């Protein structure tokens, strides 16, 4: 019996597990899916989702395989192509793919969707603690705080920083002390956020999105918000 919620992490984990089961000898095995994230439920709240469990269908397994293979591919092409398929068997897959594609650096400023949201939170306040910026984003995004704190650390320690300390900070950036540090945008950060400067061209990138490795100052795959898709950019 599988319990998975609607977050991208849950959906990718489900896809990986179902893809694995598709390669095994499943004779005599029955898979059931509970579409709820059990980690946030109190004991008495588990009964309802459990009672609503449904058998995993062959269609769901096939779609999960396609999602997993597309996610682990070295380019976003298969993921993008999957959006044209019938995804009704696993309704949350479409949102998962959209979020994965929007994690690619923007064609013009080099920021991912979440990176931009963090910078906007700090820009809107003039200056804000790292914890405030992360907490504000988490209210609307179901992502881990560690990921967001690491994004802020990257902006502070970049060769051309997008953020710096608004108040003296004597702690280690890599420590939890950084969470309380007050941050503000640098001139470079303001230019990047305004779309006048490309963060990747300035500072480069070393990031994996599934099987796609984005590395260097000139990368091929970029998110184009005007076209609402990842495009191939050759320089």
What would the DSSP string read from start to end of 58-93?
HHHHHHHHHHHHHHTSSSSHHHHHHTTS--TTSTTH
CB 53 within 8 A of CB 34: yes
Give the tens place of pLDDT for each residue, 141-154: 878 899 999 999 99
Give the tens place of pLDDT for each residue, 191-205: 999 999 999 999 999
> What pLDDT is stored for residue 114 in this prediction?
96
What domains are there in the chain, each with its CATH number? 2-102 (no CATH), 113-232 (1.10.10.10)
> What pLDDT is stored for residue 235 in this prediction?
60
Confidence band (pLDDT; 50, 70, 90) for 7?
A: confident
Q: What is the mean pLDDT of residues 27-47?
A: 87
Structure tokens at 60: 């769901």
Residues above pLDDT 70, as percent of the chain: 99
Per the prediction, the chain carries an average pLDDT of: 94
> What pLDDT is stored for residue 36 in this prediction?
87
Considering the entire predicted model, what is its pTM? 0.89
102 vs 174: CA distance, rounded Å: 27
pLDDT at 168 over 90: yes
pLDDT at 172 over 70: yes
Nearest partner of 17 among 53, 52, 88, 67, judged by Cα = 67
107 vs 219: CA distance, rounded Å: 10
Confidence band (pLDDT; 50, 70, 90) for 116?
A: very high
> What pLDDT is stored for residue 31 in this prediction?
93
| Backbone φ, ψ for residue 35 (5° rounding) | -90, 70
> What pLDDT is stored for residue 215 in this prediction?
97
SS3 192: helix
């Amino acid at each position: 019996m599988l319990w998975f919620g609607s977050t991208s992490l849950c959906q990718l984990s489900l896809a990986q597990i179902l893809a694995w089961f598709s390669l095994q000898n499943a004779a005599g095995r029955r898979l059931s899916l509970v579409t709820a994230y059990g980690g946030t439920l109190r004991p008495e709240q588990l009964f309802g989702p459990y009672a609503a469990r449904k058998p995993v269908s062959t269609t769901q397994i096939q779609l999960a395989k396609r999602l997993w293979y597309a996610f682990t591919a070295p380019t976003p092409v298969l993921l993008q192509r999957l959006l044209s398929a019938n995804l009704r068997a696993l309704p949350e897959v479409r949102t998962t793919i959209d979020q994965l594609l929007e994690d690619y650096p923007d064609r013009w400023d080099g920021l991912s969707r979440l990176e931009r949201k963090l910078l906007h939170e700090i820009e809107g306040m003039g200056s804000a603690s790292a914890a405030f910026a992360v907490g504000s984003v988490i209210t609307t995004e179901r992502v881990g705080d560690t990921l967001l704190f690491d994004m802020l650390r990257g902006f502070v320690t970049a060769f051309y920083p997008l953020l710096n300390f608004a108040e003296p900070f004597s702690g280690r950036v890599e420590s939890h002390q950084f969470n309380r540090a007050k941050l503000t945008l640098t001139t470079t950060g303001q230019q990047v956020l305004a779309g006048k400067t490309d963060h990747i061209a300035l500072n480069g990138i070393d990031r994996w999105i599934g099987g796609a490795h984005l590395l260097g100052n000139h990368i091929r795959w970029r998110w184009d918000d005007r076209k609402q898709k990842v495009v191939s950019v050759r320089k």
